[in-house]
Amino acid sequence: MNKKDFSILIGGAAGQGSRKAGLIIAKIFSSLGYKIYIYDDYQSLIRGGHSFSLIRASEKENNCSKKKIDILLALDEKTIQEHLKDLNEDGLIIFNQDKVKEEKGIGIAIESTVKELGGIPIMANTALLGGFAKIIGLDFDFLKNILEKEISKGIEKNLEIAKKAYDLEEAKLKIEDIGDSTPLLTGNEALSLGVVAAGLEMYIAYPMTPATGILHYLAGLKDCNVLVSQLENEIAVINAAIGAAYTGKRTMVGTSGGGFALMTEAISLAAMSETPIVIVNSQRPGPATGVPTYSGQGDLLFTLNSGHGDLVRFVIAPGDVNEMFVWSGKAMNLAWKYQTPVILLTEKDLSEATFSFDKKVLSEVKKEEALMWDKNKEYQRYELTENGISPLFFPGNDAIVKSTSYEHDEYGISTEDEEMIKKMQDKRLRKFESMKKEIDNIEAINVYGDNSETAVVCVGSLKGIVKSVCEKLGIKMIQPIVLEPFPQKQALEALKGVNKVICIEANALGQLSKVLAQNNIKVYKSILKYDGRPFNEEDLKDQLKNI
């Protein structure tokens, strides 16, 4: 197996530790210089069922999965039953011989080894890793170094078990060392680091997959001076966050579609009170509870139209781990610059997937100061200005600061006067015009590929797979990042010379196509996938060829 692009799948029942083992396999390859993408597939179960991690390790960045597997590691029989059909002809099977009956491949007595050495059942995944490391030609010290970094409890026993399994096997391959390692981050982790770099002070959330990782990660970050709070439901979460922002704290909340639905009334409150707040909506398939641990893009139109009344807000949809870092930081700065809600729209496939992270983007985010009251005259929270942005100030200092859900005058006092109602709405609309100009002056759309008469448009986590396939087919790819205000000028410029637009989406109703149509972009065909699973290269390539 002489190659530099590997597809590795490790699977087992929930509770067997396949996900942790998959991450360690990814870190092995990352340490050898490979670029990493991990798709984690798991059911809404604590024990049993079937879970697996699909790892792509390649010489160049490939943020997507292949259909065919090069190495299949099975902790249980179910993994063989589900995935043997996808193994390449020259692929390798490594399995738990204490539970799996398989004539082909290499069996490792992982459970027997753990029992013999007095370990606990979960350590069987460590035994599998020990055998795997020997089979692919690694020195044990190389594996030992990674295990010591990744396993915090019972490391001595885990190392003893890994060494025993390592010694029982023989090297079958030699994975080539191709360069320096790169850090691995999930999308949620990169997003968290981006908002911290832009000055995040409070994160408030109720756990909801797939946004829960943000809550756990920020709670565990040291020396970042962020207060993390878990409240009883999403209504409490966003109202508490608006209160925190009113006092001057840079605040973010995170949820998925069902929780976001509960937040929509408060989005209108934030818009009317001109309170800066960042809201993460990490999508999963709906409606209702839907499929909690899988991915989709069915909240696009709902997010763009969330909140009642005429309100202004940003909607931003990053496409990879580096964009999650950069655009989450931009989201926080934009929220405070324009004193408006900013919604970060992502999906499970980006939030929870693991990627190689480019440290070069760290310099692209820093905290930008908001427009503050200069104390030269009496403070008016909603002062009428040319660009619609009023100077900020916070209670407890030298001024009375009013914030209200009612329509109001410049001081924040409720009003039903028709002239003042129109003035205040016009003020907020002027702010929206300023937001449009801001978007026109930054790269709000990514364009990849040479000029071609066909262009493919996608958003969010589909960037990785669509970019990879379009490169192979010589087709232009266009990825809007900012969806509201929509960067129409940039989109039309990118589509010059294109006579056929194909839209690729992870929903059933072609929601992105409708957004494009609203902006004078006609879509020729749509490719829709709405089973909760990601596209793979081979199938998407065939679908595009057919069109």
Is 69 strand, coil or helix? strand
pTM above 0.85, yes or no: yes
Fold (CATH) for 445-546:
Rossmann fold (3.40.50)
Do 184-364 and 5-168 fall under one CATH topology? no
| ∠ CA 276-282-286, rounded to 5° | 125
Contact predicate 456/411, CB 8 Å: no
pLDDT in tens, 270-287: 999 999 999 999 999 999
pLDDT in tens, 102-138: 778 999 999 999 999 999 999 999 999 999 999 999 9
Is residue 169 predicted with pLDDT exceeding 60?
yes
Where in the chain are the domains?
5-168, 184-364, 371-442, 445-546
Residue whose C-alpha is closest to residue 456's, from 446, 466, 443? 466
Half-sphere exposure of 266 (CA within 13 A, CB side): 22
How far is it, in rounded angstroms, from Cα 334 to Cα 93? 50
The first and second tokens of residue 161, run together, are: 């078990």
pLDDT in tens, 491-534: 999 999 999 999 999 999 999 999 999 999 999 999 999 999 99
Is residue 170 predicted with pLDDT exceeding 70?
yes
The first and second tokens of residue 118, run together, are: 């007095």
Contact predicate 353/288, CB 8 Å: no
How far is it, in rounded angstroms, from Cα 136 to Cα 147? 16
Is residue 1 predicted with pLDDT exceeding 80?
no
* CATH number listed for the domain at residues 184-364: 3.40.50.970
How far is it, in rounded angstroms, from Cα 164 to Cα 523? 59
As beta bridge partners, residue 457 has 478, 503
Contact predicate 544/469, CB 8 Å: yes
Contact predicate 106/94, CB 8 Å: yes
pLDDT at 540: 95
Contact predicate 27/8, CB 8 Å: no
How far is it, in rounded angstroms, from Cα 309 to Cα 120? 58
Nearest 5°: phi and psi at 69? -105, 135
pLDDT in tens, 90-104: 999 999 999 888 778
Fold (CATH) for 5-168:
Pyruvate-ferredoxin Oxidoreductase; domain 3 (3.40.920)
What mean pLDDT is reported for the chain? 95
How far is it, in rounded angstroms, from Cα 476 to Cα 69? 28
pLDDT in tens, 224-235: 899 999 999 999
2 pLDDT tier (thresholds 50, 70, 90):
low
Residue type, 230: Q
